[in-house]
Amino acid sequence: MLFDHGMDWNSRDNYHFNEVKYNFFNLTEYDIDSLKFRLTIEDKKTKRILFHQTVKSFEKIYKGDMKAVKVSELRNFNSKTVLSKADLSVKAEILEVYPKPKITPCTKIKKLENL
């Protein structure tokens, strides 16, 4: 499984994102060569969606490693609101992972049940 592990970011003026990284933890049995995920950032106070976009990364994530994937789409992004970690809801939905697993979780479970 590939788990999202939250977003790290900083701001240059409290309105614009400067550097943004989203953390993923690779618990699969193989190295991941590329990843596509949908990142949604919402202002908890106003319920306004600040960012909702599909992000592609070609940064390798080795099995067992955590990797901070850069989100260049958010560099200098104007949120039009004061950025505060406490006021942001951040969610990542993993859409695609390459290479595709050679074994599905259901197949693996069936093999383990037959042991």
pLDDT-derived band at 108 (thresholds 50, 70, 90) equals: low
**What single string gives the DSSP state of each residue in 87-98?**
GEEEEEEEEEEE
Helix (H, G, I), strand (E, B) or coil at 54: strand
Can you give the pTM of this predicted structure? 0.80
According to DSSP H, which parts of the chain are helical? 105-113
For residue 103, pLDDT over 80 is answered with no
State the fold for domain 2-113: Immunoglobulin-like (2.60.40)
Q: What is the pLDDT averaged over residues 101-105?
A: 65
Dump pLDDT digits (tens) for 62-99: 999 999 999 999 999 999 888 988 999 999 999 999 98
